[in-house]
Structure 1
Amino acid sequence: MWPFFLKFTVSASRVLNVPSEEALKAIQDPVFLITLNPLVIGWSAEPAKPNHYTIRDRLSLLGFFKTVISYTCDFSIRDDGVDTETQAGLGTRLWSKWRARPVSDEPGKTEVSEETTVEAFFLNMPMITRTLKASHGELMDSMKAKLEEGHYTPSRYSQYRPLPYLLPLIAALSMYTWTLVSILLPVLGLFYWLYKTSKDPYDLFHLSLNQIGDEPPRTEWLNMGFWRNAKVFPEACEALALKLTLAAGYREGDRVLDVGHGTGESLIFLLSCPHIPRPATVTGITSLFSHHKRSSDRVHALQASQTQKSESASVVTLYHGDAVFSPVAYKHPLDPKVSTTFDTILALDCAYHFHSRRAFLSQSLRKLTKGRRIALTDICFSPEALSSRTNRLLIKAAHFMPGENIISTTDYIRVMEEIGYVDVKMEDISEDVFPGFMGFLSPRGFAWWLSVHIFSCYVGLGARFVIVSGARAD
């Protein structure tokens, strides 16, 4: 339900003066991780589900008002750490990856890292991101201190006494107060209901956008589309993907990196569209695991059919992870320690969400073959819009994109050149994107109609939809 539900990723790491076995045992202990959080005031576990916990935090709203929230967390033990999935109120979800690995050149030391991605209603995102940034750094420092001082002992199943019966009522009243302060309780409740009732388990709400008439959807596009000569959503989305590949100077036999591919329609486009040549290799990365899994299944099915037709298949490698490589990421296509390079890098309608876009562009430059290009369809702003302090504050307050990604068209080009790209080109296609996309969504029901009106505010604040590309110098 973008743009109402947004995503944010925060990561942290520490080098601990303890053996990797000890650090690994600690992060695989759910109770130890729970009690590290300075906000936690209680938890309970189900005997039948030892890795399923209900946790209660005390939060500060508006800087002074205290509230108690309750949420559930599932722990999945991995060979090198633990993954957690948290379900909280108002559609908030968090996915965390904890990893412990020995420091190669310093025996007896271990790097412990955590990467957390949060999905939440846009109105609540500022409070959530502030809380995450503040608490998770403190959490890491607490872990380092406890393990290095030898204060950690493995915990057994533990269940705290439930909170007094009045506290849940106080918590509910506090959350309502926070929402009322935001003056959006009715809209928030409506969209939470629509979100929960229309959203299937695989995050496939976009399939309905691809449906034409009564026929089941044949594509799974999820971009705003290029509507100049298109009449339906799949046509517009494919037209935008085609313009992107042309801007990237894509050639037959290229090694392609497709970033933020969703459920894989852009991958299938590269592997089967009759209007473009076939790549030698396709590498993809997307942040949602459900999208990664579905993309893998769809690509394997396509390649199986191509094999039956004796068509030569490209080599496809897919990753689950954030677009920007960080020390907590493993098996990432932009990992500087990996020698793989790409002839073409594509980011279709996703880069404005990256943390940050500049980091992604810097990492991508190092992975580009000399003389070859990266191309992105992206959202930035007119220079006139950002010259207004009021506009800047409104854009930032909406939390439509990370603050560091709010940039003008001219500064976008300048930043790419500062990073090291040459022959930087930008095409403003706003008039062939925004009106068509909003016109397509408006008649699809109240939820989409209201989303169009909110999105139109961003356009009114000077948002521009562009195709930008740059090359690595020879």
Structure 2
Amino acid sequence: MWPIFLKFTVSASRVLNVPAEDALKAIQDPVFLITLNPLVVGWNAEPAKPNHYTIRDRLLFLGFFNTVISYTCDFSIRENGVDSETQAGLGTRLWSKWRARPISDEPGKTEVSEETTVEAFFLNMPMIIRTLKASHGELMDSMKAKLEEGRYTPSSGRTEMNSTARSKQFPGRYKLIPCLLALIAALMMYTWTLVSILLPVLSLLYWLSKTSKDPYDLFHLSLNQIGDDEPPKTEWLNMGFWRNTKVFPEACEALAMKLTLAAGYQEGDRVLDVGHGTGESLVFLLSCPRIPRPASVTGITSLLSHHRRSSDRVQALQASKTSESAPVVTLYHGDAVFRPVADKHPLDPKVAATFDTILALDCAYHFHSRHAFLSQSLRKLTKGRRIALTDICFSPKALSSRANRLLIKAAHFMPGENIVSTPDYVRVMEEIGYVDVKMEDISEDVFPGFMGFLSRRGFAWWLFIRILSCYVGLGARFVIVSGARRD
């Protein structure tokens, strides 16, 4: 639920001088992966739930004070590796993919790669990212050393581990004065955040937890509801284009329409829809009477619950049609950016399929990174055809101020590399290789209408508006950007 909960992806890989079967056996051993983590001080397996573990990590709070956190992790063994899903406190969730791939031209060598996507409360995200990058790099190096030196021992049958040895890396005693000074400095640094952002956010989270069984995945359904007594007929999840309407679904569809027009979408196109949420943009492409029908639609979204809901909705829609020439629909669950750990991905360079139109509706500012997504998409575009995105960037004046830049980065609403000015956005696309790059700033038809709509939804949404308005006040601009692949 941007901007309160953010997503970030961290990836790493190492080339191991071991056969692929040895590396695969190791990464498919959950206990081995758990104990490689330098932060882990204990774990327990649950016999009734195969591959379900409760894990304890030791961390530093404010850089000084020891604390132990507990979380659960479920492992799913795959043919070429293992997937895991972690549930931690304050709504933090992590999804990891480990893969072992033999290097074809170097017998006896294997590339082991890991990709972890984290979803967390935005104030926690900087600390989580720092911890992930540091610990997972050390984890990879430890794995390489143990496997290459033959020190890996299968851990079958082990159900529990408690260790105090690792706690020595965090000394338990500190002089009183340095600790007090550090605490005072930290409190001063976070005072503005606590007063202006944290308290409204916590109030909003509490309200959402009381009104929805799944506040992070399906909160947008209530926004699509028009009448008090009728369930929502649409499931849009974007900020909308509000020029001629005050109705949320109409504004969202208007923004989707502007995006398809900017992309030069035509009848019979092979379309890639990235970040489609619970599938309303897919339904729009497949059934809106005001646009032509595509030959095929491919979609990818990062939340598994959204992927499953989209699949069910598309199947129901296709089943209701009697035409034998219904478009072919292929949906993927995964990150927008292709990485080697992906089992199947529409932007995989090894797959020959290309697309006539690529759409990213109100999601590209989340990508890690946008530059990587644009580069991969260019290779998948048919020559002469276009990609179109609705996106957030910043006015040149906003980014000319060092103080503004620091505040924007501190908010951590998007990866730092995605924070660019409007002219730099166009320049980067041209440097990647796009031609005929066009940008339309529609901020005045998006932010005021969206915030005005939310202001009528009650006090909790007013709190959300306060957060969004701070971001807009820092110079955020909502734009439609498109570019073509050279003929």
TM bracket (short chain): over 0.9
Quick one: structure 1 residues 406 and 293, their matched pair in 2 at CA, closer, same or farther if it must change by over 3 Å? same
Q: Does 1:158 align with 2:159?
A: yes
Residue aligning to 1:333:
346
**Which of 208, 225, 235 is matched with 1:211 structurally?**
225
TM-score (norm 1): 0.93
Does the Cα contact within 8 Å between 1:12 and 1:114 map onto a contact in 2? Answer: yes
Cα pair 2:41 2:162 within 8 Å, conserved: no
Aligned to 1:29: 29
Which deviates more, 428-437 or 56-65?
A: 56-65
Residue in 2 aligned with 1:302? 317
Where structure 2 has 5 or more consecutive residues not aligned to the other structure, the ranges are 165-171, 173-178
Distance in 2, matches of 1:93 and 1:62, equals 22
CA distance in 1, matches of 2:45, 2:343: 31
SS in 1 for 2:346: coil
| 2:393 aligned residue (375, 380, 384) | 380
- Contact 1:91/1:192 (8 A) holds in 2: no
Q: What is the identity percentage for the equivalent residue pairs of Structure 1 and Structure 2? A: 84
Q: How does 1:2-401 map to 2 (within 5 A)?
A: 2-155=2-155, 156-161=157-162, 182-183=190-191, 184=194, 186-187=199-200, 189-201=202-214, 203-213=217-227, 214-306=229-321, 309-310=322-323, 312-401=325-414
CA positional deviation for 1:72: 1.0
User: Is 1:453 paired with 2:466?
Assistant: yes
Q: Which runs of 5+ in 1 are unaligned?
A: 164-169
Q: How do 1:380-459 and structure 2 match up within 5 A?
A: 380-459=393-472
AA of the residue aligned to 1:377: T
Q: 1:18 to 1:41 in 2, by over 3 A?
A: same
For 1:292 and 1:402, how far apart are their aligned partners in 2?
23
Specify the SS of the correspondent of 2:237: coil
What is the aligned-residue RMSD (CA, Å)? 2.0
Q: What is the TM-score of this pair, normalised by structure 2? A: 0.91
Return closer, same or farther for 1:191/1:82 CA change in 2, 3 Å cut-off.
Answer: farther
Aligned-pair CA distance for 1:189: 4.3
Give the partner amino acid of 2:12.
A
* Cα displacement string for residues 446-465 of structure 1 (whole angstroms, at most 9, x for unaligned residues): 32111101100111111100
2:67 aligned partner, one-letter code: T
CA drift of 1:289 comes to: 1.1
- Asked if the contact 2:217/2:305 (under 8 Å) is kept, the reply is yes
Q: Residues 181 and 408 from structure 1, CA distance in 2 versus in 1: closer, same or farther, beyond 3 angstroms? A: closer
**How far off is 1:187 after superposition?**
4.5
Amino acid in structure 1 at the alignment position of 2:417: E
Cα pair 1:91 1:196 within 8 Å, conserved: no
Q: 1:191 to 1:52 in 2, by over 3 A?
A: farther
Which secondary structure does the structure 2 equivalent of 1:275 belong to?
coil
Distance in 1, matches of 2:188 and 2:209, equals: 21
Residue 154 of structure 1 and its aligned partner are, at CA, apart by 0.8
d(CA) in 1 for partners of 2:331, 2:375: 21
8 A contact 1:222–1:262 mirrored in 2: yes
Separation (CA, whole Å) in 1 of partners of 2:386 and 2:479: 16
Cα offsets for 1:421-473 (capped at 9, x unmatched): 11111101001000010011112133211110110011111110000101111
Q: Is the 8 A contact 1:13 1:328 kept in 2?
A: no
Q: Report if aligned partners of 1:381, 1:462 keep a CA contact under 8 Å in 2.
A: yes
